[in-house]
Amino acid sequence: MQALRSKARELLATKTVQVIIGYASGGGGRARAVFVREAAKADALVFDDSCQQNLAVYFSKPEVRKLGKAALVATPAALRAILQLAAENQIAEGELLALAVGGDDVVPLATFAAIEAHVAARDGDWSAAEKEELQKYEAMGLEERRRFWEEQFSRCLKCYACRAACPLCYCTRCTVECNQPQWIPVPAHDLGNLEWNVMRAMHLAGRCVDCGDCGRACPVNIPLHLLNRRLIREVFTVFGSRSGRSAKGDNALSTFKPNDPEDFIQ
Amino acid sequence: MKTGFYPGCSMKGSAREYSESLLAVARVLGRELPEVPDWNCCGATAAHNLDHDLALALPARILAAAEKKGMDEVLVPCAACYSRLKVTRHELLEDEKLRQRISGLVEADYRGSAKVVNIIEWLAAVPDLEKLVKKPFQRKVACYYGCLLVRPAGIVEFDRPEEPQSMDLLMAKLGAKPIDWAFKTECCGAGFSVSRTDLVAKLSGLILEDAVSRGAEAVIVACPMCHLNLDLRRPNIEKRAGKKYDIPVIYITQVLGLAMGLPPKKLGLQRHKVAVKFAPAESPVPGVSAKRGA
Amino acid sequence: MARIGVFICHCGENISATVDVVKVAAEAARIPGVAHSVEYKYMCSDPGQQLVKNAIKEKNLTGVVVAACSPRMHEPTFRRACAEAGLNPFLCEMANIREHCSWVHEKGEATTQKALDIVRTLVAKVKKNKALEPIKVPVTKTALVLGGGIAGIQAALDIANSGHKVILVEQAPSIGGHMSQLSETFPTLDCSQCILTPRMVEVAQHPNITLHSYSELESLDGFIGNFKARIRRKARGLDEKLCTGCGLCMQKCPTRKIPSEFDAGLGLRPAIYVPFPQAVPNKPVIDREHCTYYRTGKCRLCEKVCPTQAIRFGQEDEIVEAEVGAVVVATGFDIKHGDFFPEYGYGKHQDVIDGLQFERLASASGPTLGEIRRPSDGKVPETVVFIACAGSRDPAKGIEYCSKICCMYTAKHAMLYRHKVHHGKPYVFYMDIRAGGKMYEEFVRRAMEEDGVQYVRGRVSRVYERNGRLVVKGVDTLLGARPLEIEADLVVLATAGVANAGAEELAQKLHVSYDAHKFYAEAHPKLRPVETNTAGIFLAGACQAPKDIPESVAQSTARRRRFILPASAASSARAPAPTRPSRRRSSAAATGRWSRPWPRSTRACARAAAPAWPSAAPNRSTSRASPTRRSMPRFWPCWNEVNAMADFNPKIVAFVCNWCTYAGADLTGTSRMKYAPQVSIVRFPCTGRIDFMLLLKAFAGGADGIIVSGCHPNDCHYSSGNFHARRRWVVFRGLMDFLGIDVRRVQFSWVSAAEGAKWAQLVNETTDRIRRLGPFADYQRLRGQGVG
């Protein structure tokens, strides 16, 4: 943490960046995002186990961009998000300085290549617990899963917190905001909730970097991240692609191979 | 893979040596060939000439029994039985209502899970067959397929119906020299062996003449009917042709047994009408010798 | 305020025989927004079109729906009529109640209701259509002709003589194609090369024609009026400007024993060669595969002897770019070679040859200088057996069609043989004689009656060699199936005409459709035989189907007219591709169709219609035993529900692409194949355009099952739309399964424009499966909660 704060002070003092996007203590033992613009205020920065939120989400907000060049306190998921945003031409080289924090170390990563190398060195599969979670749902039969998700979606408020929390949901006009026609209905009823969640999952297919913020953001505790995880696994198993590992390259769903599997097609 | 064995009537009777040689060879290969329990006659030509239901029910009963015993495939060395069983399986799997009705007739729910394979398919699937060859069968052979091993093509789906090669390839593995000849799938006279032996004499005679004229030293068969017409009816053939033919007719399993080094008596070679003897290598006209049985 | 006009066509009896068109017109009048609804016998006729125009003016219509044949047939007709009456043509839609309804279902109330539903769907759609203007693009007045056989030559000359420029691309070193290999042509017995070579020379000398021989099409981009072609000029190995065609290199080349392609393998040629003496251009080509220098690094003798130093070893292929306005595909055909008739011994016996090889024997410039001789020993054959239908008309061999030209050329071959070998005995084994052209029947008669060709009606079972001769075993069916054995010296097989080896690859480059045999598909078999579905690409000659010289020439000339007229315009109008049609149309389709409950009358009649299908709902007595019932416990307890399932008429929506599956469904209709009526077809430009949300919307709208179908991979009209769709579907299915939504309710498939039978089978199987899965009650419960 000290290393982080002194690095932040240095960056701001030398005007290398105009703002540090990091975590500060919130209430109730939680962390919240903070935008430190003065070196003197760098002590507000913290980094501990409560710092889970994917701060890369702020980088797609125009209000934050206006603050100038930013340094971002980056969890591994946030690093992947940065790479994916770069691959989608949302960030240019040099617009962002990533501060990868691990233990007491702060590793500044100024180029995409550096971030790629850092991510690759620490890349791994899901933890045993994460795998188990997904498997638990797959072990249920179709009918049980259907009942489970019906029950989950019945609580959805259509607050779109999941959308707000996701770094890759950066469309200036989301499809749900078009009302000519209203493709996804606005009120929170079962059908519309299902349609919204399907759309969200599909629009993130091949792009989601598995930060889990959607599930964390949901005020009624719907495990939304599972939908995204299931598709991450599908995309990897079937097409061999993983998002968030390279600042170049195409999304799984905007490319194809001539011999993609099609055993389900008659 | 559990393989069952359906001998059929002829393998227990007039084609006993086919069965003997098959079982002897199977022992060397280390393959068990349990017979389909309580098997009945497949119906052969008699059934399908008279009644369609009977023609289907008889094989269906056999196959249902094989399924019940957990057999994944049934080896049917007799080409006619093979044809009946294969066609029955095909027809019943194509037509659900028919399958239900025939299943009712034989009082067994026939599902079609057991595949039906002929002797050549079964032997071709044996890995590294060449390694078991101790005495290569270095003779020129005419492989005679007859009618039923590779036809009808749409049902049997095995080898080429007009110019088959599977037996030739198998014989080559055993060290033999299969010749190219024109009568591989020409009719031998089949069931007219009894009612119109004169026709068999003519048709089987043409087959032997072609084989002999192209230098074959033996005719290889995989069907009891073919063997009967080409071997047992030899006197009729010779009478009609006005000349002698010494060329022996051997079952493929017997050739395999000989190549494996098994003694001829174990393979039933003594049961043939035409002695299985080969002219010495220097002889100018292979297959024809001055003295019979020399 | 919408004022839609609905016009129902009887189409003679094609529609009215199975659909009650009067009733449909009456019911359509009651659809909200419909201001005018009539029926008429032939809507596409002049008076029919006049009805539409009058109604537009009198009733101030804001949109028109013509319920008739497929839009692929008459959409342009009716759009033009609307435009003439002052209504924007894009406010006119066609409801396909013929190919997709009256032709594929039995007569009855259910079929009438389906027609009405299709009309309702299109009315809902047209209400949301926007008026659009065509986009004007300048037109390049040059044509690209692919293929330099007789069809390509004729097309090139016709277009060039009309004052337009032509680029002619031919794969072989010389133009001429198969016609240059022939000896004499039927029915006139003209010398083939004598009538062909003047045209070949004309092509070479024509100021409007640029000839690229020994070249291939590399790629084609763009659209009608504005194509960009890239042509690969393969390296001949010489400087064509310096080469005089003296032929010295060919004489001196030491590698002389290469089987000549032009002589169909019966003659030999050197490694540097001109395929035949009258070749155009008369410049040789170095065959790098066999040339000693390219194989071993030694020789280069030709370079040494060439008087003008024209040889260029190491020359590379060159890419030439061209802008053209239209493309004529005249790439021709081939005859089937190979061992697909093992019992005839082709390939095993040297004296069993095919039709092209016989042509080369008979040809004065062939390997035997026009004498009929056996390939094995060079002797003159005393008896020749010709076997017709060697491969054609044979479903077991995979070629069900008739190759059209063989009866005629077999008669010709037999006659030529007799003319050259006066004592020779020709036999022809045939099944039927197809001699339907002008002077054709007389030609065959002449062979039989004047030239003594022995025609035997029967097939040949085997050809084998015995004592140096070929024994042909056949049967004479006109003499009571009498078996026949003929000892022949030569056997000639009239093998099937098939598509060229590179046909599929070229079709994919051009985005033209082709059938299962790789023959190119015309836009309409009767009315548009020289066009393809890709605007600006035309067909000529045998690449479309086996045909003879007179037909190929006629087609090329006809095709010329089709090209000239659009090319004469300074610019062409392109129909604007609608930008966002699918969302609205499909949601309209999905909701518009079932926004009201399924009419009770339809239900009753659906019950009556159901027994037609073998897998219809089982009757009461067997329902208890049915395993299907047991596997769906929620239907088991309540007998009413069981009954309801017996009446269950699944609602299935099919999202299909216009170029392949929609056309395939049209073909099903044209072929009068019947299939289950529960499917409603929605047309998309491409599967790539089908949003996954549409599937959910369809379920929400009341669908129990969905079919999504388009072009096979590599055949997409837009190159890669279906590839993207395919990936999307994989992901979508994974998500659906995870959410507990039964993906078996969505059937994905590839159905091409030629697969009419497959479409019918697909619909029937899917309907059956959905019926067994039952109504999609779970999803529809969600919908009950509020606004859809």
DSSP B195-239: HTHHHHHHHHHHHHHHHHHTT-SEEEES-HHHHIIIIITHHHHHH
Torsions phi, psi for A45 (to 5 deg): -70, 135
Token representation of residue C351: 């004296």
Q: Judge whether A191 is closer than 8 Å to chain C, CB to CB.
A: yes
Do C782 and A191 make contact, defined as CB atoms within 8 angstroms?
Answer: yes
Which chains are adjacent to chain C, needing at least 3 Cβ pairs under 8 Å? A, B
Residues in chain A closer than 8 A to C729 (CB atoms): 264-265
- Detail the DSSP E strand segments found in C510-595: 537-539, 571-574
Chain B: residues touching C (Cβ < 8 Å):
153-154, 160, 162-163, 180-182, 186, 210, 213
Average pLDDT over residues A221-239: 94
pLDDT, residue B279, reads 63
CA distance C694 to C708: 11
Q: Which CATH architecture has domain C581-598+649-788?
A: 3-Layer(aba) Sandwich (3.40)
Do C747 and A266 make contact, defined as CB atoms within 8 angstroms?
Answer: yes
Domain boundaries, chain C: 1-134, 135-234+317-332+504-572, 235-315, 335-358+366-499, 581-598+649-788
The residue ranking higher by pLDDT, C65 or B161, is C65
Within this chain, domains B3-117 and B128-271 share the same CATH topology: no
Q: How far is C626 from chain B (nearest CA, A)?
A: 13
Chain C: residues touching A (Cβ < 8 Å):
583-584, 587, 692-693, 696, 700, 713-714, 720, 723-724, 726-735, 737-742, 747-750, 762, 778, 782-783, 785-788
Residues in chain C closer than 8 A to A227 (CB atoms): 735, 738-739
Do A239 and C749 make contact, defined as CB atoms within 8 angstroms?
Answer: no
Q: Does domain B128-271 have CATH number 3.40.50.11810?
A: yes
Could you tell me the fold of the domain covering B3-117? Glutathione S-transferase Yfyf (Class Pi); Chain A, domain 2 (1.20.1050)
The yes-or-no verdict on residue B292 having pLDDT over 80 is no
Q: C152, C552 in Cβ contact below 8 A?
A: no
Q: How far is C345 from chain B (nearest CA, A)?
A: 9
> What confidence tens digit (pLDDT) does each residue in C10-51 have?
999 999 999 999 999 999 999 999 999 999 999 999 999 999
CA distance C390 to C355: 10
Q: Does domain C135-234+317-332+504-572 have CATH number 3.50.50.60?
A: yes
Residues in chain B closer than 8 A to C343 (CB atoms): 162-163
Do A181 and C583 make contact, defined as CB atoms within 8 angstroms?
Answer: yes
Token representation of residue A83: 């790479």
Q: Which of A198, A188, A195 is nearest to A220 (CA)?
A: A188
Convert C616-638 into a string of H (helix), E (strand) and C (coil): CCCCHHHHCCCHHHHCCHHHCCC
Q: C160, C209 in Cβ contact below 8 A?
A: yes
Domain boundaries, chain A: 2-121, 128-254
Q: Which of B257, B219, B228 is nearest to B140 (CA)?
A: B219
pLDDT, residue C584, reads 32
Find the closest chain A residue to C737 by CA distance.
A142
Which chains are adjacent to chain B, needing at least 3 Cβ pairs under 8 Å? C
pLDDT, residue C714, reads 83
Which chains are adjacent to chain A, needing at least 3 Cβ pairs under 8 Å? C
DSSP string covering A51-104, please?
--S-GGGGGG-HHHHTT-SEEEEE-HHHHHHHHHHHHTTSS-TTSEEEEEEETT
Average pLDDT over residues B252-277: 93
The residue ranking higher by pLDDT, C523 or B121, is B121
pLDDT, residue C526, reads 72
Note the ipTM here: 0.93
Chain C: residues touching B (Cβ < 8 Å):
339, 341-343, 348, 396, 462, 464-466, 471
Q: Judge whether A170 is closer than 8 Å to chain C, CB to CB.
A: no
CATH number of C335-358+366-499: 3.50.50.60
DSSP string covering B70-106, please?
T-SEEE--SHHHHHHHHHHHHHHHH-HHHHHHHHHHH
CA distance C453 to C414: 6
Token representation of residue C338: 């190979």
Name the β-bridge partners of C136.
Answer: C573
Within this chain, domains C135-234+317-332+504-572 and C581-598+649-788 share the same CATH topology: no
Mutation site, C580, C656, C731, interface A, largest A CB count within 10 A = C731
The residue ranking higher by pLDDT, B207 or C641, is B207
> What confidence tens digit (pLDDT) does each residue in A176-210 have?
988 888 888 888 988 999 999 999 999 999 999 99
> Which of the residues in chain C have pLDDT under 70?
339, 559-647, 784-788
> What confidence tens digit (pLDDT) does each residue in C153-195 have?
999 999 999 999 999 999 999 999 999 999 999 998 988 988 8
CATH number of C1-134: 3.40.50
Q: What share of chain C is helix, strand, coil (3-state, %, to 5)?
A: 40, 25, 40
pLDDT, residue C561, reads 64
Q: Which of C746, C742, C753 is nearest to C778 (CA)?
A: C742
Burial class (CB within 10 angstroms; exposed 0-12, middle 13-18, buried 19+) of A136: exposed
Q: What percent of chain C has pLDDT over 90?
A: 73
